[in-house]
Amino acid sequence: MATKPWHGARWPEGVPHDISGYDKPLFSLLDDAAARWPDNTFTIFQDATRTYAQVKYTADRIANFLASRGIRKGDRCAVFLPNIPQYPAVFFGILKAGAVAVTCNPLYTAEELNFQMRDSGAKALFVMDHPQFYRTAAKAIGGTDVETVVVCNIKSYLPGFKAFLGGLLGKIPKAPDRDPNHLLLDDVVTNYPAEPPVVDIDPESDLALILYTGGTTGVPKGAGLTHSNLVYDVTATYEWVRLEPEGGGPLERLEKGGAHTYLGVLPWYHSFGMTLCLLQTTLTGSKVVCIPDPRAGKPPFTDILGSIQKYRVTIVIAVPTIYTAIINHPLTDKFDLSSIIGCGSGGAPCPVEVIRQFEAKTGAIIFEGYGLTETSPVLTTNPTIPELRKVGSTGLPIPGTDMKIVDVETGATELPLGEEGEIAASGPQVMKGYWGRPEADAEVFREIDGQRFFLTGDIGKMDEDGFIVITDRKKDLILVGGFNAYPREIEEVLYTHPKVAEAAAVGVPDPKSGEHVKVFIQLKPGMEAGQEEIIAFCKEHLAGYKRPREVEFRDELPKSVIGKVLRRVLRDEERAKQQA
């Protein structure tokens, strides 16, 4: 890559401008780790551990099973699981079968999950043995191509005494009405040999993962990520992180082979948690603490603090709401958090005061980054050296990534440094395209100077050192605790309510979650409804972070001259109200 503005004085010493070696199957990360460190711990869950060899062994058996069920290269298999220890084996097992993983939010309603199953054409589904998750999945597969359902029970992944006691007291989650045609993962692992099929993978063109996002329009669509997209992004971010070793000395990359323990607090169905936690753990042969429910404990988030102390967690990858929860937790000072050395933050801007307080409490450094589902996700990251970073920016493009600020109208003309425009990105991590939606691809891709650039939908500028600062959003997405809530999806649900004539959803600033959802509703003539009724209705159809916290009824919603509801007007009114 030619020298860019970001390759200057603030570029971290030792970090290459480009990287290579990412043209390989994503599952090779597990195979390599199991070959180098077979007996090293990979997952930690409720004090029980699984080694890299054990996870590979299970993944190979899952791949063999899927092949026996007729799953072939390119077929889609859905993963509807929280962060439990079966997740890595299931994920890599799907890839080893040559199939494409479709990772799904385990808090989705049956409607939301059904859409992903139908849209992706998934043929198999992995679900946790749990009353809520299983019933949702069983309902969601109706009208889809799913023929194989595998149920994952955590009992065999617990220490012997806990498994025995939990079974005795009925504390281990279990679906009470499981379909006998739905198989248990433990039986799959027992009955199929650890001999994955031989599949010819083209890393640059073959998909490894479909992640659903609203893109720039709010209509859910699957971002198709290839094997090399993900291997590149996890490798480039590994190259980027350089920390000062204990006792001083030259900056070093994170030591491989079990020296580090990651906190698995971000959901692995999400691109941020997948790449920066699960895949980064695998690449480095580290340990990861499985956290199925970040809010667990009394008061909420206490279990996170206990896990950091107990397992001597060194690396935390989280959204700002997690860091905020830690510094504001009433029991934080009772836990030893000194093992943490480095933290990544993304998904939403992290307040400067939160960074300052967290670093003061732990002695660790938080480095902010920026990316999207469509970019695997990382595009930019602040240097991991305090004196080089710029707090409040999203950092510099990672190695091998090119970034431009382009005009908002066409997305095809590059603007000078310092000018505001739409952020565009090009690099090996940019998705192949949206699953089955060429018209959506045409909207977001541009060829500039012979390179394929992705239009992010975010408005920002690049300073003289190459740091990217986000100033606004071209799209109307709402960032709730680092997760994207898309107005159109929420509005589509509201329009199914028999009393709603028109609806608009906007993001309202929130000190805890960054933003929360507020909806504005115009009722049909003669109808009456209250806030509680609308919120209860949304609870049946939307995941928690998408549900409105506020409902305002209006006689009329603001519209453009062509009759389009103006969300921006409503959003600006709310912000002005808060400032006043």
Residues 6+ apart with CB under 8 A from 18: 1, 399, 400
Q: Is the pLDDT score of 213 beyond 90?
A: no
- Cα separation, 237 vs 1, in Å, equals 17
Strands (E), 248-303: 261-264, 287-290
- Cα separation, 470 vs 429, in Å, equals 20
Average pLDDT over residues 443-458: 95
- pLDDT averaged over the chain? 92
pLDDT band at 178 (very low <50, low <70, confident <90, very high): very high
pLDDT band at 169 (very low <50, low <70, confident <90, very high): low
Contact (Cβ atoms closer than 8 angstroms) between residue 246 and residue 42:
no
- Cα separation, 14 vs 240, in Å, equals 9
Average pLDDT over residues 533-557: 94
Residues 1-24 pLDDT 10s: 778 999 999 999 999 999 999 999
**Exposure string (b/e) for 480-504, b if CB count within 10 Å is 16 or more?**
bbbbbbbbbbbbbbbeebeebebbb
Helix (H) or strand (E) holding 468: strand 468-473
| pLDDT for the residue 328 | 86
Residues 238-273 pLDDT 10s: 999 998 887 778 889 999 999 999 999 999 999 999
Q: Tell me if residue 538 falls in helix, strand or coil.
A: helix
Domains of the chain: 52-202 (3.40.50.980), 478-579 (3.30.300.30)
- Looking at the DSSP bridge assignments, the partners of residue 333 are none
Q: What is the DSSP string of 47-83?
A: TEEEEHHHHHHHHHHHHHHHHHTT--TT-EEEEE--S
Q: Which of 202, 203, 205, 199 is nearest to 228 (CA)?
A: 203
Tell me the residue type at 392: G
Look-up: residue for tokens 């920390």? 243
Contact (Cβ atoms closer than 8 angstroms) between residue 454 and residue 223:
no
Establish how many alpha carbons lie within 13 A of residue 460's alpha carbon, considering only the half-sphere containing its beta carbon.
22
Contact (Cβ atoms closer than 8 angstroms) between residue 142 and residue 111:
no
- Cα separation, 46 vs 563, in Å, equals 55
Three-state DSSP string of 421-448: EEEEEECCCCCCEECCCHHHHHHHEEEE
State both tokens at 319.
Answer: 């959204």
Contact (Cβ atoms closer than 8 angstroms) between residue 69 and residue 61:
no
Contact (Cβ atoms closer than 8 angstroms) between residue 400 and residue 428:
yes
- Cα separation, 287 vs 278, in Å, equals 10
- Cα separation, 532 vs 538, in Å, equals 10
User: pTM here?
Assistant: 0.87
Residues 6+ apart with CB under 8 A from 20: none
Average pLDDT over residues 454-478: 88
Residues 380-389 pLDDT 10s: 999 998 899 9
| pLDDT for the residue 560 | 58
Average pLDDT over residues 495-512: 88
pLDDT band at 353 (very low <50, low <70, confident <90, very high): confident
Tell me the residue type at 349: P
| pLDDT for the residue 409 | 87
- Cα separation, 299 vs 320, in Å, equals 19
| pLDDT for the residue 51 | 98
Cis link prior to 377 (omega < 30° from 0)? yes
pLDDT band at 164 (very low <50, low <70, confident <90, very high): low
Q: Tell me if residue 36 falls in helix, strand or coil.
A: helix
Q: Outline where 69-130 has alpha helix (H).
A: 87-96, 110-120
Residues 311-329 pLDDT 10s: 999 999 998 888 988 988 9
Average pLDDT over residues 38-54: 97
- Cα separation, 264 vs 293, in Å, equals 10
Q: Which of 396, 402, 371, 392 is nearest to 384 (CA)?
A: 396
Q: Is the pLDDT score of 217 beyond 60?
A: no
- Helical packing angle, 302-311 and 320-328, nearest 10°: 90
Considering only 31-35, 39-43, 196-200, 512-516, which range has the smallest mean pLDDT? 512-516
| pLDDT for the residue 79 | 98
| pLDDT for the residue 561 | 52
| pLDDT for the residue 562 | 46
Considering only 127-136, 449-458, 480-489, which range has the smallest mean pLDDT? 480-489
Average pLDDT over residues 360-385: 95
- Cα separation, 580 vs 573, in Å, equals 11
Q: Tell me if residue 533 falls in helix, strand or coil.
A: helix
- Cα separation, 312 vs 263, in Å, equals 10
Considering only 48-57, 453-462, 475-484, which range has the smallest mean pLDDT? 475-484
Q: What percent of the chain has pLDDT over 90?
A: 76
Tell me the residue type at 492: E
Considering only 347-356, 398-407, 494-503, 549-558, which range has the smallest mean pLDDT? 347-356
Other beta carbons less than 10 A from residue 20's beta carbon: 10
Helix (H) or strand (E) holding 551: strand 548-553
Q: Which of 368, 378, 81 is nearest to 225 (CA)?
A: 378
Q: What percent of the chain has pLDDT over 70?
A: 96
Considering only 74-78, 289-293, 385-389, 531-535, which range has the smallest mean pLDDT? 385-389
